[in-house]
Amino acid sequence: MTVRTRFAPSPTGLLHVGNIRTALHNWLWAKKHGGTFWLRIDDTDAERSEERFVESIRADLGWLGLTIDGEERQSSRFARYEARFEQLRAAGRVYPAYETQAELDLKRKIAAGRGLPPLYDRAALALTDADRAALEADGVRPHWRFKLDHDAPIVWDDLIRGPQRFDAKTMSDPVIRRADGSWLYMLPSAIDDAEMGITHVVRGEDHVSNTALQLQMFEAMGATPPAFAHEALLTGSEGKLSKRLGSLGVAHFRDSGIEPEAVRALLARIGTSDPVEPLVDTAALVAGFDFSRFGRAPARFDEAELAGVNTRIVHQLDFERVAGRLPAGMRRAEWEAVRPNLTRIDEAAEWWRVIEGPITAERDPADAAFLAEAAAIAATLDWGADPWGTLTAALKAASGRSGKALFLPLRRALTGLDHGPDMKALLPLIGRDRAIARLS
């Protein structure tokens, strides 16, 4: 069996961190098994679907490095849905129903008043051909329901939630098609999963009861159902379902200086019992990924944790990976010197200014003689070797200073700052002429 997963967003908005996590897990699972990862655009809802969202979904997956092996679009598959619908109708598994929304609401209220669950009573199944003809003659168009098999047990072994069991008798026959002929999510999705050869459906636990219904649809179509993994939902750092999560997506991450590697590393692990590791390499993420590691408790997403992972990722990024985003002229040596001091790549520009100058540095009059001495020594150094080591050793001997009294005035004069990258790496980059000028 070649694993094939799919990520199936509806293009009615931008991807948020919850969708991104689902996409990532589908991708990781496919990679782990040498399989393929598909994007399926769930755009049956023509009113709410927008092309700009389709484009942003593709772009976001690209930014995240979640390369797709193929793409399907529900809006190009209506003929397939029609064909399956006709088969199911001929087999008596879909039936027309004529209740208005108001009638259904009333039925629900009556059931609730009797303390009963709001189950559809299947009144439409009792209609005769004559009843239907009369309704249609009155201009009533039916919507369509899938007829559940009340006798078949619904069971599956969820890759995250373990053994699941539903009783079809406790569920309403789902509406699969509206009176205007448009499709609801449920049946097209099952048809696509069957016809695309999807082996694993990975999605949020809000779909668990849909899965129960869709398993009967696979059965009715004579298709082998995929395996399912339903993920616990994501919560904000306060542990609550947060509205903010819905607005956190790739644009926000990019603007905050967050790298895709950090998003991947964090979202691959939260919700598992494993520690979050700053893994740049996807092979390592893939190797450590398994649904059996995930728990049923909500996964906590904390932006501060993401920023922390990002810092540790940035410290590992190669020059080649970041070169296009560095200030013009900045080379490998500068990148490697300043990298340990960054929390995000664009901060490299601040250190580039420190290297290139001009800088403004405050000088303590008490350090004047010491710095003049430093400038004199700097003029005599071999700048090709270790100028910082030689300079500080010579100054230590000449001035008797050590520790902070030795290093801090030098750092201040040379960079204008009290802190920063290792001076041993930084000084050769500032270079002889600028260093002498700054010390003088």
From the list 5-13, 114-122, 138-146, 226-234, the region that binds ligand GLU by CB under 6 A is 5-13
Residue 10 engages ligand GLU in binding (rule: CB under 6 A): yes
CA distances from 176 to 44, 46, 77, 395 (A): 12, 16, 16, 82
Q: Give the shortest CB-91-to-ligand GLU separation in angstroms.
A: 24
Residue 42 engages ligand GLU in binding (rule: CB under 6 A): yes
Q: b/e map of 230-257 (b: 16 or more CB within 10 Å)?
A: bbbbbbbeeeeeeeebeebbbeebeeeb
Residue 272 engages ligand GLU in binding (rule: CB under 6 A): no
Q: Give the shortest CB-203-to-ligand GLU separation in angstroms.
A: 4
Among 31, 79, 93, residue whose Cα is nearest residue 192: 79
From the list 4-12, 46-54, 58-66, 116-124, the region that binds ligand GLU by CB under 6 A is 4-12
* Between 178 and 332, CB nearer to ligand GLU: 178
Residue 49 in contact with residue 91, Cβ under 8 Å?
no
Please identify which residue in 3, 4, 5, 9 interacts with ligand GLU, judged by CB under 6 A: 9
Q: Give the shortest CB-304-to-ligand GLU separation in angstroms.
A: 28
Number of residues that bind ligand GLU (CB under 6 A): 8
Three-class SS state of 56: helix
* Between 191 and 354, CB nearer to ligand GLU: 191
Window 172 to 201, contacts with ligand GLU (CB under 6 A): 185, 189
Window 133 to 172, contacts with ligand GLU (CB under 6 A): none
Among 49, 41, 37, residue whose Cα is nearest residue 9: 41
- The DSSP-derived string for 288-329 is T--GGGB-SSPEE--HHHHHHHHHHHHTT--HHHHGGGSPTT
Q: Give the shortest CB-218-to-ligand GLU separation in angstroms.
A: 13
Binding mask 89-118 for ligand GLU (x = CB under 6 A): ------------------------------
* Between 185 and 335, CB nearer to ligand GLU: 185
* Between 224 and 256, CB nearer to ligand GLU: 224
Q: b/e map of 312-331 (b: 16 or more CB within 10 Å)?
A: bbbeebeeeebeeebeeebe
Q: Give the shortest CB-207-to-ligand GLU separation in angstroms.
A: 6
Token pair recorded at residue 298: 């909500």
DSSP type of residue 13: S
Dihedral angle of Cα 404, 410, 413, 419, to the nearest 10 degrees: -50
Q: Give the shortest CB-238-to-ligand GLU separation in angstroms.
A: 25
Report the Cα 391 to chain-centroid distance in Å: 49
* Between 27 and 335, CB nearer to ligand GLU: 27
Token pair recorded at residue 263: 């998003």
DSSP element (H, E) containing 22:
helix 17-32
Please identify which residue in 143, 203, 230, 438 interacts with ligand GLU, judged by CB under 6 A: 203
Residue 8 engages ligand GLU in binding (rule: CB under 6 A): yes
Which phi and psi (to 5°) does residue 410 adopt?
A: -70, -50
Residue 261 engages ligand GLU in binding (rule: CB under 6 A): no
DSSP element (H, E) containing 228:
strand 227-231
Q: Give the shortest CB-49-to-ligand GLU separation in angstroms.
A: 10
Residues that bind ligand GLU (CB under 6 A): 8-10, 42, 185, 189, 203, 207
